[in-house]
Structure 1
């Protein structure tokens, strides 16, 4: 009574002795004829990879956020050593609760905080800036020429006289608005960070953030404390994100509980529900073990991937469980039912999971290491599901089966729905009507209208951040409150865009170079969103005027080299940040009002136009450095990758569908609902004020890769029935009665698993939750509504050997029913 895997007459076999164990394909024979060996291998692998998880680290790296092959970032990395403080940095503001900073108690506290911060690991100590560090200096024009020194008087002792000297030096140094607040009630410590610590390891941002928080708690945590402390910077942002991930574990637990509840509500079988969940968790253990073995870790962006793997695993496992349950309900032995289900769904499941892998793997085209690691981590996780869900679940179910009551209930519900639909049965009956012309045409017209509206709205989609502060966190988060305080009390923001002027050694002292630097300075100053600019040109102007008793007529760049050379010498000796010791690299800085996409685009365009016009082999104007320069470059890379990524993922999914369906019309039927969902998802991003950036870029690709699962499971079964001779309507009805209901279950399970992210303290996770929930639900509805509607127009020819839609041979129908 054995049958080949491609035959339709899978008979009911109650005794496994009556089943030919050599039937089926080679892969099926290897798997099911060696079940105990396979289970033992899985147990050993789980133990081994679970042990490897001990080395798994959660962290982040500033360099991994950089699109490192982009010319702008290469310019920055090549000159990084010469660009002091223009990369990764922290800004710590110490504010007096009463009075101003010219108080002995406040200054003593500031001194202690400054010293503790100075000793933190990863700090680029020579270039740390505050009113207590020697690199911050004042200059003054006197009768004898220039005078100057550190802002903190050398003889400072906390006395009223020395505090008054400090007040005078702060005014001389012109640091009000940058290192001292405009209202003199707080001062800032600028802490540049090294890419590697003293041991050659990447700086641990989480540990650094906790150390800073410890300093904040000790000096500002008590009710009677004299100061408040505010902290911003990439390291603090990442530290807060990692700390927030501890709360995210709760959402993982909630997602698991919801998935189990939904699956159990559908099956009413505890043993199989627990098995499906266990195999999905095993997949996560394998994933994290393999990631650790490869030397990678998890970061705030890839931490969400294990949650998706569990949700995807539970969803695919439900399809296998549903098939076995129906066969057992008809009287087939659990081993035979497992093999039948393996035959029917392995190819569809393999295609669906490969589509998921493609949805993740295509992210590797984006030249940002953090996204590439996310793509690798996710691809490993979904790739593991191919084994745990398509092979391990059927093998385990061949031993434990499903509850006889659950199997009987499922079969009874199926027969009852065929006789007189009730409850949800009426929904399935309604869906079947979309195979009729009078229902299909309105459905497609409504979809077309939605598609046009969505496309027009999606044209307004912006690249990059659309809000001030850190959009990754909630607006009321501690970090964004700190950012708002600093922005409101200081004249310049922390968003710095730098153009690197590169010349041969001593080239920055040339008159032509200095005048062009000055011109670039003036050009950037006129760009909307630029608060102020600073450059070597301004420094030379100031120093030149100082040589002539501060006469403003001499605040210029002289064409007399003998007047220029002393000013460059002064700048070098006073460790100016606007040139290196060899006078070959000089940054021009633009302090921006924010890092919104529009602001960055304007500055980049102005700097690029200037570079194209004035750059020569001897004098180059290179974009870009500074945190705003990195953000701008990242936006450029994301914009270029966005459409390219979608094109690749759709092309790959189309190829996989063509292999599975062997019909280009079926591929069109499967892809059109996905395309509509992608368009509407971008329109939703516009309405929610979400830009395309590192955190949100993967979502649309994931939605396509995972969303195609619905159409694959539904269409693969529908085509089996059609090619057996059924009409589109009858074939779709049968497909809904089998895999279609589980398609709806899968959509609800996936959506319910991620919708809880909306309440996450991490805003980018909440944004991902909204978008993924939307895409999972719309892809499900597209599969259940648009697949039959499109099938009416495109797949009528797939029904072979019939004169009309009602002429399907009853014998073939019975065979097809047994097959599914």
Structure 2
């Protein structure tokens, strides 16, 4: 390592002798007007802090679905005619007496039905239970077909009317749908509107709270309540945010403690944490000003911004601490560190922003909002952690003991003492033998990981709500409904568009009947229901119940008669839309894919100019469309994020060799992360799709900081080994610190009751650690083969980092530490 001239170093470190007009225009504008910058930041913090109190937390059903996809466009076009398919709540009322045919139970069900009817946001026209007039029965008597409401018109709670109710239920075809197969519970089906009667967006948190109040009110020795549906799931997610905030607090304590354990300096630790929190405050304050809300997915973004801020802040703090330890005045140390690391930090943050920004290519609003919210946070970090932190440290400096400790390895080397074992081990990867081993092991891991990642599934892999833990109250409720009802709550509906008054056309019903039969043969389809099926059932009824007549009669008059008395859920008011219901065993990606493929093939053959089979409605149809969008976006997203990162690295390093060294470790980590998802049974879905892109965007930070110093030292004439040793001391040990600290911080999320947060915690912890290992092990190994002794070194990054000042200051005596 080249030793600088001591007299030059002493001259550069003195504040009185420092040229205030040196450095870039940006540096002079900031550091020559430090007080003005601090006042502006203080005013902005107060302003954004006040606006952050106005930030709302909510969710939107429409934001969770890919509204631009043709399936969803079809659903939204006909949503008002689809009997509430889509966003709905199912409330199962269980009789503790053993049967729903009990006067106390039925009275309780009626009162609960009336309470639910008055809830804000309920689509009352399509609400359904035993007590709604739309729930009807049809039966065959000596006088022909008869029917009416399931609840007898003269119902008075007497034994006779209850027995008639039981007969009506048995003839209503509702057992397995509104009534449990064991007839010990019944469902109140509650379709929801996107807005309330006053035009405001539906508040899912408030609705969930109202449902919980009803659960509490009606859960006693007579009835028990189970609730499922998107609104309830989101409500439970929002309720769990208090625990998310607790995990945020735990992560903050862990990162603060580990940073202090590294620096042993209270003031610098507090400043790094403070500036990272200021970034979060600015971000949260900007959101209501821009008209945004937090949702259960983007609520995790502020912690990511805090984590990124801690990483960059620790780098700035470490650089200033070392320069002060060499004898520089704190103002000079802050300016020199700003010169060396601002561009590297800026490019790293731009890479972070790109990692978030590419998520906007996914046509799901909740992910696009997450991308924008995160990009705002990253932009804020440029001011709070790249500018505000160095200026604050230029005023307060660091403790004398901490500054001296930061140069311990350098002083030990000058004194001929043994270097830390970890530094010695890591430096081995700049030598041929260990570099070869690192590259070969990485190649083997990448190939094995890629083979495993081929089994990565798209969509949900678990029953119930995969966003919540399997033992959560919601998933226990969902398991109850699945166990006790023949037709599950997972429904995929096919819309059959016909001309007005054409839904009862016999030819159309024949085609619908054939599609229904084909759907019934698909594994995972438990039951189906269509107007054609009703025609078959009525045909039996008209022929003394003889099953031989279970067929579609080729009679237009008969079809018209049956259609006139059919429930509206099977067709719309203008008889221009039929609905084919497929009740699924689950909403796993494979199940949905099989059904979608069968319908697409059928439509390709039997669609005509007047009759078209359109996908898709129901929660199964919506999830199928979401899976299709996610599958396509998964690869597109990676291509875009890696393309942008490679371009930014080329602009930063001005060397394709250095870019390869920086990017290959990220690729290996991405591959291994997908393999981990396969091993843990985590599918690619809305909640996990952003993780790999975020891991790439954040992971490049480590490589940028290490490579910037490595290239600068090699440009100055150092060997690869000496250059890497300097990089380890100056930025590498902070990469090690932040990688471990952030991984430990997010690993605590694995204990969260919200499963997608637990999944994100595990995946992000893995990516933080492996990106750190890649930057400290694989990067120097690749540099041995691509950079060491290559002519390309003479052209590497002439403007990336300016280390001349650091070179001159390297051997400065300790002075001006306060």
Q: TM-score, normalization: structure 1?
A: 0.95
Once residues 801 and 792 of structure 1 are traced to their aligned partners in structure 2, the CA distance between those partners, rounded to angstroms, is 12
Report whether the alignment pairs 1:728 with 2:720: yes
Distance 1:819 1:527, change over 3 A: farther
Q: How does 1:170-189 map to 2 (within 5 A)?
A: 170-189=169-188
1:768 equivalenced with 2:764 (yes/no): no
Which of 571, 575, 585 lines up with 2:577 in the alignment?
585
Please give the alpha-carbon distance, in whole angstroms, between the structure 1 residues aligned to 2:503 and 2:481.
34
Task: Name the residue aligned to 2:798.
Answer: none
Paired position in structure 2 for 1:647: 639
In 1, are the aligned partners of 2:714 and 2:793 still within 8 Å (CA)? Answer: no
Determine the structure 2 residue equivalent to 1:310: 306
1:546 offset after TM fit, Å? 3.8
Residue 345 (structure 1) aligned to one of 333, 341, 349: 341
Q: 1:798 to 1:265 in 2, by over 3 A?
A: farther
Q: What is the SS of the residue equivalent to 1:99?
A: coil
Alignment of 1:716 onto 2:712: no
Equivalent residue for 1:208?
207
Secondary structure of the corresponding residue to residue 173 of structure 1: coil
Kept in 2: contact 1:11–1:818 (CA 8 A): no
Is the 8 Å Cα contact of residues 501 and 574 (structure 2) preserved in structure 1?
Answer: yes
**Cross-structure match for 2:558:** 563
Structure 2: how far apart are the matches of 1:652 and 1:797? 28
In 1, distance between residues paired with 2:515 and 2:808? Answer: 75
Spell out, residue by residue over 1:631-684, the C-alpha distance to the aligned partner (whole angstroms, 9 max, x if none): 111011000000110110001111111111110000000000000000000000
What displacement does 1:18 show?
1.2
Aligned residue pairs, count: 797
Residue 469 in 1 paired to residue 461 in 2? Answer: no
Kindly provide the CA deviation profile for residues 686-735 of structure 1, in whole angstroms up to 9, marking residues without a partner as x: 00000000001100001000001111000000000001111111111111
1-structure distance, mates of 2:31, 2:94: 70
Distance 1:475 1:303 in 2: 22
d(CA) in 2 for partners of 1:503 and 1:815?
A: 79
d(CA) in 1 for partners of 2:484, 2:545: 30
Shift of 1:619: 0.9
CA contact (8 A) 1:13 1:331 kept: no
CA separation in 1, counterparts of 2:596 and 2:416?
A: 66
User: How many Å separate the matches in 2 of 1:14 and 1:432?
Assistant: 30
Counterpart in 1 of 2:3? Answer: none
Q: Secondary structure at the match of 2:21?
A: coil
Aligned equivalents of 1:404, 1:309: Cα separation in 2: 30
Q: Does the CA-based 8 Å contact 2:12-2:809 persist in structure 1?
A: no
Mark the CA change 1:15 to 1:558 in structure 2 (over 3 Å): closer, same or farther: same
For residues 552-604 of structure 1, the C-alpha deviation after alignment (integer angstroms, 9 at most, x for no partner) is 44443333322222122222xxx421111111111101000000111111111
- Aligned to 1:189, the other structure's residue is in SS state strand
C-alpha contact 1:96 1:106 (8 A) present in aligned 2: yes
* 1:284 aligns with one of 268, 280, 283: 280
Q: Which moved more, 1:597-606 or 1:609-618?
A: 609-618
Kept in 2, the 8 Å contact 1:146–1:546? The answer is yes
In structure 1, the partner of 2:65 is 66
Alignment partner of 1:250 is 2:250 = no
Distance of 1:505 and 1:557 partners within structure 2: 22
Separation in 2, partners of 1:422, 1:681: 37
CA–CA distance in 2 between the matches of 1:198 and 1:813?
67
From 491, 494, 500, the counterpart of 1:499: 494
SS at match of 1:356: helix
Residue of structure 1 in register with 2:228 after alignment: 232
Match of 2:694 in 1: 702
Closer, same or farther: CA 419–157 of 1 in aligned 2, 3 Å: farther
Aligned counterparts, 1:372-771, within 5 A: 372-416=368-412, 419=415, 425-571=420-566, 575-771=567-763
Give the unaligned 5+ runs of structure 1: 1-8, 803-810
Q: Larger deviation: 459-468 or 404-413?
A: 404-413
Contact kept, 8 Å, 2:520 with 2:526, in 1: the verdict is yes
Q: The residue matched to 2:614 in structure 1 has which SS?
A: strand
Secondary structure of 1:647's match? helix
How far, CA to CA, are the matches of 1:556 and 1:576 in structure 2?
Answer: 22
Residue 104 of structure 1 is matched in structure 2 by 103
Q: Counterpart of 1:92 in 2: which secondary structure?
A: strand
Q: Distance in 2 between matches of 1:597 and 1:422?
A: 57
C-alpha change, 1:690 and 1:339, in structure 2 (3 Å) is same
Cross-structure match for 2:128: 129
- Please tell me whether residue 778 in structure 1 is matched to residue 774 in structure 2: no
Q: Distance in 2 between matches of 1:745 and 1:690?
A: 28
- In the alignment, the residues of structure 1 paired with residue 743 and residue 546 of structure 2 have an alpha-carbon distance, to the nearest angstrom, of 70
Supply the distance in 2 between the matched residues of 1:376 and 1:82 (Cα, whole angstroms): 34
1:46-195 equivalence runs, <5 A: 46-195=45-194
Q: Is the 2:519–2:525 contact (alpha carbons within 8 Å) kept by the matching residues of 1? A: yes
Distance 2:783 2:50 in 1: 50
Taking the aligned partners of 2:809 and 2:345, their CA distance within structure 1 comes to: 20
The alpha carbon displacement at 1:412 in A equals 3.0
How far, CA to CA, are the matches of 1:235 and 1:191 in structure 2? 10
Shift of 1:535: 0.7
Q: Specify the alignment match of 1:354 in structure 2.
A: 350
Contact 2:65–2:364 under 8 Å retained in 1:
yes
Task: Please provide the CA RMSD for this pair.
Answer: 1.8
Structure-2 change in CA distance of 1:526 and 1:433 (3 Å) = same
1:219 partnered with 2:211: no
Partner in structure 2 of residue 805 of structure 1: none
Taking the aligned partners of 1:593 and 1:168, their CA distance within structure 2 comes to 28
> What whole-Å deviation, never above 9, does each CA across 1:241-294 have from its counterpart, x for those lacking one?
110111111111111111111111111111111111111111011101111111
Compared CA separation, residues 192 and 501, structure 1 to 2 (3 A): same
The 1:380–1:814 alpha-carbon spacing in structure 2 relative to 1, beyond 3 Å, is closer
> 1:508 deviation in Å?
1.1
| CA–CA distance in structure 1, aligned partners of residues 346 and 265 of structure 2 | 25
Secondary structure at the residue paired with 2:146?
strand
Residues 533 and 422 of structure 1: CA distance in aligned 2, closer, same or farther (over 3 Å): farther
- Cα deviation digits, residues 85-144 of structure 1 (max 9, x gap): 211001111112232111111111111111111111111112111111111000112233
- 2:797 match: none
- Which residue of the partner structure matches residue 807 of structure 1? none
User: What is the alpha-carbon distance in structure 1 between the residues aligned to residue 310 and residue 804 of structure 2?
Assistant: 33
Q: How far is the alpha carbon of 1:542 from its aligned partner?
A: 2.6
Indicate conservation of the 8 Å contact 2:10/2:327, yes or no: no
Contact 2:336–2:805, Cα closer than 8 Å, also in 1: no
Gapped regions of structure 2 (runs ≥ 5): 1-7, 795-802, 813-818
Return 14-23 or 672-681, whichever deviates more: 14-23
Secondary structure at 1:746 match in 2: helix
Q: Distance in 2 between matches of 1:814 and 1:539?
A: 84
Distance in 1, Cα, partners of 2:586 & 2:189: 18
Q: C-alpha deviations, 1:184-234, integer Å up to 9, x for none?
A: 1111111111122111222111111111111111221x5xx2211111111
Relative distance call for 1:814 and 1:161 in structure 2 (3 A) is closer
Does structure 1 conserve the Cα–Cα contact (< 8 Å) formed by 2:252 and 2:745?
yes
In 1, distance between residues paired with 2:508 and 2:299?
Answer: 48
Partners of 1:725 and 1:813 within 8 A in 2: no
